[in-house]
Structure formats: structure tokens, C-alpha cells
Structure 1
Amino acid sequence: MKSYLAAAIQMTSKPDLDHNLGEAEDLIQLAVNQGAKLVTLPENFSFLGEEAAKLAQASVIAQKSEKFLKTMAQRFQITLLGGGFPVPGGENKVFNTALLISPEGQELARYHKVHLFDVNLPDGNTYKESSTVQAGHTLPQIFASPELGKIGLSVCYDVRFPELYRSLSKQGAEILCIPAAFTAYTGKDHWQTLIQARAIENTCYVIAPAQTGNHYGMRYSHGHAMIVDPWGTVLNDAGVHPGVAIAEINPNRLAQVRRQMPSLEHRVFG
């Protein structure tokens, strides 16, 4: 792996598939213009609306999302992560799917979100992802690239479960992708802390594209798409508006941190 630029895209996706894909294309173009070779889109990048509406349109969303990712990756000659979109599964439910695509438009890795967000928040919002989403049943595997390094996938709520990332680091992960649509209520207190914790404890880069602002009704996301280095330093933060956070993924920095803090070599339990 040589040094390269990665991009964490920040969107305000709506219950409008075509609008969202248009916004995503503009932001991908912005990232490419700044030199990004690995571009990551947030969870729900292609559709963020009521669960029933998502389920009703799932087949179309899945088909258009996958075609979009392959087309964009080929057009711009980048490796592109679609951070989460619905793919029809069994039991009249969908898988929340993250998909990594090569510059040739080929699928490199696919991950079905394992941890589902079923939470009643004090701000009056209730989330029950399991009502329409079927949980994945397998831990993600890393994708190893000579150009980009060893990349591990996850999605949003997974960030609260460090054992998933420990599994990735045990496989040799160097970059952890955590695309999200983190709620505004929890994000203000937990988002950055959790992202930095996953970077520090696994001495990995973390690339965390995010949703921001109001999507529909009372649904608000926190924003602050960011890229964090293996020491836990925030290299770039997109703030609260749609945009792109870009930073360098540097193998020399990774090696330096792992020499200074060789905690992965000191694990006792697994």
C-alpha cells in the first residue's frame, strides 16, 4: 500500500431515490476532483424515508443503487463504498447492505448489517430497524488490496459493538469503514467518541461517511462525517452540511502508531 486520499461523503438523503443518487454523484465528483481514490457513501445514501416506504420500493432501490455504484466506480476509476441500502431478503424484509466496488465495476465485498437499531430515544423518536430489516448472520471479512490496504466493513449501529472490530483487526484490518445515519440525539454525545475509540483500540484508520440534517418528519442525523487516524486524531470533519471529508491514508503513519503502541500484539483474550 502507498499513501492515497480517501473521502467520507456526507449527505442529507430524502425519501426520493433519484434525487439522492443525483446528490451522491455530485459529491463523488467533488471527492474525485480533490484526488480521492477510495470514496465512501453513508448508510441510506440512496433512500432515507419511512420504513414502510423503503420496504415497498426495496427491489427498485437495490437495483438502481447497485447499478449506480458500479457506474460511478467505473466512470471515475475509484474504489467506491455504498454504505448501506436495502436488498430484498426473506420474510418480507431487506438486508441493510454495504457494497464495495472496484474501479472496474466489480463487487469486492458485501456485508449485511448485523446489529439492528431498535431504540426508543428521549427526544420522542422510536426506531425499530428489525421491523423491516433482516439481520446479517456473519461477521464481515476484510478486503485486502495492494493499493488501498486491508479494509473492513461495518454499518452505523455496529460501532457500539467493539467485538466486531476486534474480529476485523484480528484478520489484519488497517482501515475500518463505518458508514452511518447516526441520530442527532445520540450523535452529539457518542459519535466522535465511538469513532475514535474504534480507531485507537484497533490502531486502524477509520473512514466514517455520514448523514446530516433533516430527512423527513422528525428524522434528523448528526452529521460530522470524518476520517480518523490510528492514534485517534481527527484528520478531517465534514461538519453539519452536505459535503466531503478527505484525508490521507498513510501506511508509514499506520506502522509508526503500531510501533509506538503495540497493543494488538499484547492481546490476551483472542
Structure 2
Amino acid sequence: MTLADGSRDAAATRIAVLQMTSGITPLVNARTITDAAAQASDSGAAMLFTPEMAGLIDRDRARAAVHIVAEDDNPVLAAARETAARHGLWIHLGSLAVRADDATGDGRWANRGFVIDAKGAIAARYDKMHMFDVDLASGETWRESAAYRPGEAVVTVDCPVGRLGLAICYDIRFPALFEALGRAKCDCIAIPAAFTVPTGAAHWHLLQRARAVEASAYVISAAQAGVHEDGRETYGHSLVVDPWGEILLDIDGGAGLGFASIDPSRTAAVRAQLPSLANRRPVPLSPAS
């Protein structure tokens, strides 16, 4: 945060947000992430945030299946961990498609986010809870649940931006998850995404700002943008929104790296002015009429 006298607030944490146009080749996407991590580190960032499906975007499931492997074999995760350790940088991989522990035997994958610490260790994992199963007026049809198994756990992790709550893309439309993250007193919530253009144009900024205000927390949303190798188009506009709902970063256009500062005093000030988390009361369900 820049103060009135032009100096920097020592308490603020500089972060980097990577907007991507991920393709069908994981090693190419891994190089994009590692190059961004080096640039983020050189620019003084403590943490890099990447979008949903940072390692692979391919709606041809037969072709994609060749690259969807278990965590231990995933080259994008391995590259991110090595890069984090080399630069002493935390990295939030918004999500990767990985082969899940197949306890159910249904063969579906996981849409899994990873928080990697500055030593390269995995500090947290989060499996996307809400599957994007929709039929849009534009003619686009998506059935995420056909390939991916939903997660079941709310996840938070302590990292350079304070307590970070994890969500992914379509999760943003389900307030109960964000109520749980608010109760966990998250300082920031990450919502990496690959929003479609129609839904993004209609709802992206609205939903991001609403989630920041209701949780009295920063929202950090790295996004996919542009036309991808598999033919889909994503909305972009990676955002950082402060707890008052003010937009601190909005990456317009295609792939690129942006920076913002997370100031814990801003969160404390907003929660003191409008203590909605403290004032929240349980809402009883009305009996069926």
C-alpha cells in the first residue's frame, strides 16, 4: 500500500496475479507459470496466484485423459513446487485436473487447487465443490460433473496474505461456502476461474465484489482469458477486490501478470466499521406451507 507521503506500508504484502490462456500441453503451461513466478519474485511479490485449470484446458476428454495423472506424476505441480522453492515464493495453483483417489470407483477426476509454500511443500489442497452443469442461452452446454468428482471440504490455510480461504470458479455462486469462509475469519479468499464469456460479462465483477463485501475480506481471482487451443473462449478480468468492494486490480485483455498489495489494516478497519461477521445470526428455515 502506498501512503500519502509516497512511502510503502511495511505491513502490506505484495502479490502477483497471473492471467493465462492455458492450452492443451501441460509442459507449455508449466513454463508460463514458472516464468511468471520468476518475474513475481523479481518484483518483490511474496505469493503468486494462478487461474483454474492452469495446467491444462482441453474439452476433448479423450485427448486430455493422457495428461491427467496422479499428483505425484503431475509435471505442472512438480514444476511449481521446484520454482517456489528456488525463488522462496508461495504459489497458489488455482487448480489442476488430477486423477483422484478412486475410492468410489467411478473414474472421475478432481479439479484441485494447491497452495505451495516457499520451500516447495504443499500447504493445502482444495477440490472444487460445485460442478458447472449448465445450458446457457448462448448455446454452450457444460457438464463438469461427467468428468470431475466434487469436493466435500471447506479449506483454509495460513500464508503470506493471512488466512486464505479456497474456492474455484462456479463455487462463487453458492453463498453457503463463503459464509463458512467468513466464519473461519479469512483475510483473503482465492477464487481462480475459467469463466465463460456470457456469464463473465453478466456476473463476474458483481459476484466478486459481493463476496468480498459479505466476507469483509480481500478476494483474489486469477482468471483464464481469450481463445484457447480447444476452441473455448474465457472472460479474463483477473481481479483483486478489497474488503470494502473496491477493485484494486483488473487485468483487461489477454494473458499477463498483475500486482496488488494486501493490507491487513484495511481488513481490520472494514470489520470495525461494519461488523457483519460478528452481527450474523442463524436464520431458521420456515416450515413448509
Secondary structure of the structure 1 residue equivalent to 2:228: strand
AA at the equivalent of 1:74: A
Correspondence for 2:5 = none
Please say if residues 55 and 94 of structure 1, whose CA atoms lie closer than 8 Å, have aligned partners that are also in contact: no
Q: Secondary structure at the match of 2:170?
A: helix
Match among 130, 140, 152 for residue 165 of structure 2: 152
Aligned partners of 1:26 and 1:124: how far apart in 2?
A: 36
Provide the C-alpha distance between the structure 2 equivalents of 1:7 and 1:104, rounded to a whole number of angstroms.
18
Aligned to 1:65: 76
How many angstroms apart in 2 are the aligned matches of 1:218 and 1:71?
31
Q: Which of 9, 14, 19 is equivalent to 1:5?
A: 14
Structure-1 residue corresponding to 2:89: 78
- Confirm or deny that 1:39 pairs with 2:61: no
Q: Which amino acid aligns with 2:86?
A: R
- Maintained 8 Å contact 2:26/2:67: no
Structure 2 residue corresponding to 1:185, chosen from 185, 189, 198? 198
In the alignment, the residues of structure 1 paired with residue 96 and residue 64 of structure 2 have an alpha-carbon distance, to the nearest angstrom, of 10
- Equivalent position to 1:173, from 141, 161, 186: 186
TM-score w.r.t. length of structure 2: 0.88
Aligned pairs for 1:1-270 (under 5 A) are 2-50=11-59, 51-59=61-69, 63-89=74-100, 90=102, 91-138=106-153, 140-145=154-159, 147-269=160-282
Return the alpha-carbon distance in structure 2 between the equivalents of residues 7 and 76 of structure 1. Answer: 14
Distance, in Å, in 2 between the alignment partners of 1:168 and 1:68 is: 29
Percent identical residues: 34
Aligned residues: 268
Rg larger in structure = 2
For residues 39-67 of structure 1, what are the alpha-carbon distances to aligned partners after superposition, in whole Å with 9 as ceiling and x for unaligned?
Answer: 11100111001233223321178611220
What's the secondary structure of 1:35's corresponding residue? coil
Cα distance in 1, alignment partners of residues 255 and 179 from structure 2:
31
Distance, in Å, in 1 between the alignment partners of 2:96 and 2:231 is 21
Deviation at 1:29, TM superposition (A): 2.4
Q: Distance in 2 between matches of 1:162 and 1:237?
A: 23
Structure 1 segments of 4+ aligned residues over 4 angstroms from their partners: none
CA separation in 2, counterparts of 1:251 and 1:235? 14
Indicate the larger mover: 221-230 or 61-70. Answer: 61-70
Give the conservation status (yes or no) of the 8 Å contact 1:9–1:28: no
Distance 2:119 2:230 in 1: 39
Gaps (5+ residues) in structure 1? none
Distance 1:105 1:99 in 2: 11
Deviation track 1:211-249 (CA, whole Å, cap 9, x = no partner) reads: 000113541000000111000000011112111221110
The more displaced of 29-38 and 165-174 is 29-38
| SS state at 2:152 partner | coil
Q: Deviations over 1:14-53 (max 9, x none)?
A: 1111211112222222322322111111001110012332
Q: CA deviation at 1:124?
A: 2.2
SS in 2 for 1:179: coil
> Alignment partner of 1:241: what SS?
coil
Unaligned runs of 5+ in 2: 1-9, 284-289
- Aligned residue for 1:42, secondary structure, equals coil
